[in-house]
Amino acid sequence: MGLVHIYCGDGKGKTSAAVGLAVRAAGCGKRVVIARFLKTDNSGEVEILKKIPEVTLIPCRKTFGFVRSMDEETKRECAAYHRELFGEAVKLAEHADLVVFDEIMAAVNYGMVPERDVLEFLENRPGRDQTDGLEIVLTGRDPSEKLIAAADYVSEICKRKHPFDRGIMARRGVEY
């Protein structure tokens, strides 16, 4: 049956874990959809994922910057964009074996995507009760108890030490 995975926590590697699972699934001939929330396409995995025929990567058509820097009008525009992005991924899920909602927790926690929409999708996802049903991955920090309850796997990546704490900024090809 299709199961729900959550990769959460304050450590590095949530997206990397999701991309790894996507590559594994694609390598087995499965169809993969990846939607990235509150991110740009300026990340190393984006270019390689575009080259895998089994992967449909929904492109970042518009960026808004960091939520904490947005004025209210920009937040509304950003929320409308990300609700549309979520809807696009849900439509594509009808023809997929695995869907990754990367950084969906941030989108939910910032009010960009209603949590009830995510929970409703999980509850009614295609092939939920079938042996080879749709597999779902949700990533990001601070999933709600409702999302955790809806998941079958919850893997928490805990930061013990990170170069950013010493002022070392994100490096292309390593952190993004």
Contact 9, 140 (CB under 8 A): no
**Which position has the higher pLDDT, 127 or 168?**
168
Q: What is the dihedral of CA 95, 105, 121, 126, to 10 degrees?
A: 30
Return the pLDDT at 174. Answer: 87
Return the pLDDT at 131. Answer: 67
Q: In CATH, which superfamily holds the domain spanning 4-166?
A: P-loop containing nucleotide triphosphate hydrolases (3.40.50.300)
Domain ranges of the chain: 4-166
Residue 5 pairs in a beta bridge with 137, 153
- For β-strands 135-139 and 153-156, DSSP reports them as unpaired
Return the pLDDT at 173. Answer: 87
Q: pLDDT, tens digit, for every residue of 103-154?
A: 999 999 999 999 999 999 999 998 777 767 899 999 999 999 999 999 999 9
* pLDDT above 80 (res 19): yes
Q: pLDDT, tens digit, for every residue of 79-107?
A: 999 999 999 999 999 999 999 999 999 99
Contact 96, 31 (CB under 8 A): yes
